[in-house]
Structure 1
């Protein structure tokens, strides 16, 4: 049997005698017999593995892609290589200059996101986180303690959905001596919660010191007797 032009030609296989016609094999059985023969393992011992065939297909695709690109790039393959190296160099320079991208801090989410807790409960949670070295959670819990404490002392009205920045701005009006530190504490909270930054022990200690100082601070109310006397003297 032989394959010619994609068609299976059947050749004489057996002669009965010099005068008898040759014995031929029908086309379909011959094709099936050839398929069974070629499917034997002995013919495929050196075939590439499935992984190798997949890799070859990928490399053929990459080679074709670069070949197509090089035909439209000045300088051919060399020009394409120069362009790729230039792009990589620019990307590396930007990464070195700007660092790993971080999400832009935002205060769109509310400060409190779970069930109402007292300032004492938030402080206890903050100290527990700090003892384990979980500074992000410790900073968050301590800032919540600061705001809840101001609400408990009626220095801030209880308002669901308030953000850290809003709380710092409102409290700074009542406690002007601590306004700058309140804004800084709110920024630390936002950076940790929404900005993808990592806090450290120093950040937490600043929050805790602010919380302690606010507990000992008397508010400066516009209608207090002291301010009224000052206004009369003026």
Structure 2
């Protein structure tokens, strides 16, 4: 849930917002009603709660000294502006993460080029890069040979399921390669030289290279 992940989103130097309370409420409403937020009941409750919070703050400060009223207004606006920024950043992060999870990207490259890049990375002592490119080369090679359907956005495990159906005797190695791909690319896990080399060897075996 994007809303629960707000506190995990790292801060970034964005231009400051300085809206009025009414503008702040409007900004927050537009952000929370973006299509990326699916639980509309929860979103509406949050909008209503924040609007009431701001209204109460303004009402309670209306009879207070000017400086106190100004302080309440500043806090309310800062709260809404900060929440808008956090929600917007979290939404962008979630969308980018979903796009990155596909094994094959929109990069115009062949399986041989990915394979060569993986071998260079491994020789340079970058096993993580080597493993990721090796698995992508493996998947693209099978696609080029007609053994894998061209399914845009297919994840590593979707690719593994399809490949295991074509190569049942290699199921364990294919599953291991998919797990390593996900854990290295999305879980920030370190890869070893041996693990990257194993995926390259799997590419050879699935391609029929001895």
Displacement of 1:198 after TM fit? 0.3
Tell me how many residue pairs correspond in the alignment.
112
Give yes or no for the alignment of 1:187 onto 2:179: yes
Displacement of 1:171 after TM fit? 0.8
Bigger radius of gyration: 1
Give per-residue Cα distances to partners, 1:132-188, cap 9 Å, x unaligned. Answer: 101110000000010001101100011210111100111101110111110100001
Displacement of 1:116 after TM fit? 2.8
Q: Which of 192, 199, 210 is 1:207 aligned to?
A: 199
* Cα RMSD after superposing both structures: 1.9
Q: Which of 115, 124, 128 is 2:116 aligned to?
A: 124
Looking at structure 1, the residues matched to 141 and 102 of structure 2 have their Cα atoms a distance apart, in angstroms, of: 17
Looking at structure 2, the residues matched to 127 and 121 of structure 1 have their Cα atoms a distance apart, in angstroms, of: 10
Aligned to 2:90: none
Displacement of 1:115 after TM fit? 1.1
TM-score with structure 2 length normalisation? 0.51
Give yes or no for the alignment of 1:142 onto 2:134: yes
- Checking the alignment, whether the CA contact within 8 Å between 1:151 and 1:157 is kept in structure 2 is yes
- Runs of 4+ aligned residues of structure 1 deviating over 4 Å after TM superposition are none
- Checking the alignment, whether the CA contact within 8 Å between 1:172 and 1:178 is kept in structure 2 is yes
Q: Which stretch of structure 1 is more off in the superposition, 110-119 or 144-153?
A: 110-119
Give per-residue Cα distances to partners, 1:64-103, cap 9 Å, x unaligned. Answer: xxxxxxxxxxxxxxxxxxxxxxxxxxxxxxxxxxxxxxxx
Looking at structure 1, the residues matched to 138 and 179 of structure 2 have their Cα atoms a distance apart, in angstroms, of: 14
SS at match of 1:116: coil
Displacement of 1:109 after TM fit? 1.3
Give runs of aligned pairs for residues 1-234 of structure 1, distance below 5 A: 109-216=101-208
Looking at structure 2, the residues matched to 190 and 113 of structure 1 have their Cα atoms a distance apart, in angstroms, of: 14
TM-score with structure 1 length normalisation? 0.46
Aligned to 1:23: none
Q: Which one scores higher on RCO, CA 8 angstroms, separation ≥ 6? A: 2
Unaligned runs of 5+ in 2: 1-97
